Amino acid sequence: MTTPIVKIHNLETGEELERPMNTKEFVQWEADIAASIAREQAKTEQAAAKQALLNRLGLTEEEARLLFS
């Protein structure tokens, strides 16, 4: 597998440099992607749990907001 390309743009000179990610950058890039996926999954699970609780209580989200505001 080839590594992603890093594009560096020097705003002062207008010079653009493209190069493959080094090992450290690639490992961090993969970790960032995994963390992003985990955050999105946690948000989805939390929303499902919240909706399940509201369903058990027989409340809409708006009604629950009114109770706790």
Angle value at C-alpha 9, between 8 and 13, nearest 5 degrees: 135
Q: Can you tell me the distance from the alpha carbon of 43 to that of 41, in angstroms, rounded to the nearest whole number?
A: 5
Where in the chain are the domains?
22-67
In angstroms, rounded to a whole number, what is the distance separating the alpha carbons of residues 41 and 57?
A: 24
User: If you average pLDDT over residues 20-37, what whole number do you get?
Assistant: 97
- Residue 1: is its pLDDT beyond 80? no
In the prediction, which pLDDT does 31 show?
Answer: 98
Name beta bridge partners: 17.
Answer: 8
Question: What's this model's pTM, rounded to 2 decimal places?
Answer: 0.70
